[in-house]
Amino acid sequence: MSCRCLWRACCIVALATQAACFQAVMHGPRVEKGLSGFAGASVTRGPTHTEGDEGGIRLRNAPIGLGVGYGWRGATRHEASLFTGLYVPIAFPFAQLDLFAQAPEAWTGATMGGAGVNVAIDHVAPYLQWGRVNDRGSGWSLIQGVSMRTDDEHSLRQLTWTPGLAAHIGGSRSRVHLYAMGAFGRIRRSCVATSECGTRTWALQTGLTLELLLRKRDGA
């Protein structure tokens, strides 16, 4: 793919992307080569907060939806690999773009992993994902990240710590990603219920993503 085509694709995705809350885990620590399709569902737990007369509002929403992604593997163990994916929930929240760069496997020994970022209209969520999976895609990974969100109405920024863990189950033409993620931070200072402003709070997400390998991989 040329740089110009990749730039155009990123622009189109950015225009279609809107705010998301919890991010969906679309991949393991090892980038898969080729085109993938995704279907995922998740649930959240945690306290709610109040916005005027609207009653209890969840601090984080769980995405349920579909996605598509593509992975480029390094030609040798000394080259990095890249994954890019788009996840579109069926209902709120809306689409999110995921970019992940795996470090060269020659650098990481028996483990593997890298750095990524999940982007939506009102947030940027950089993260690290590290673990160990075999050639069939089975294994585990740990996730450490932060979510930086901007409230357009009040021009405020929020910072949330988002740790997680995942189990990956590989098949001949599929992968299953089981994951749990947390979000730990404070309720925004602009909340209507002033007694809640600045209060420390949390949310927990558990989910499952089914990944279908739409193009045959080398060695799959």
pLDDT digits (tens, 9 = 90+) for 189-207: 555 544 555 677 788 999 9
0.85 exceeded by pTM:
no
Residue 57 has pLDDT above 70, yes or no: no
In the block, residue with structure tokens 């558990």:
206
- Structure tokens given for 53: 């007369």
pLDDT digits (tens, 9 = 90+) for 129-167: 999 999 899 999 999 999 887 655 544 567 889 999 999
Residue 216 has pLDDT above 50, yes or no: yes
Kindly state the average pLDDT of the residues 86-98.
83
- Structure tokens given for 133: 């999976």
Output b/e per residue, 6-44; b: 16+ Cβ within 10 A: eeeeeeebeeebebbbbbbbbbbbbbbbbebebebbbeb
Give dist(CA 69, CA 62) in Å, integer.
Answer: 20
In the block, residue with structure tokens 């989910």:
207
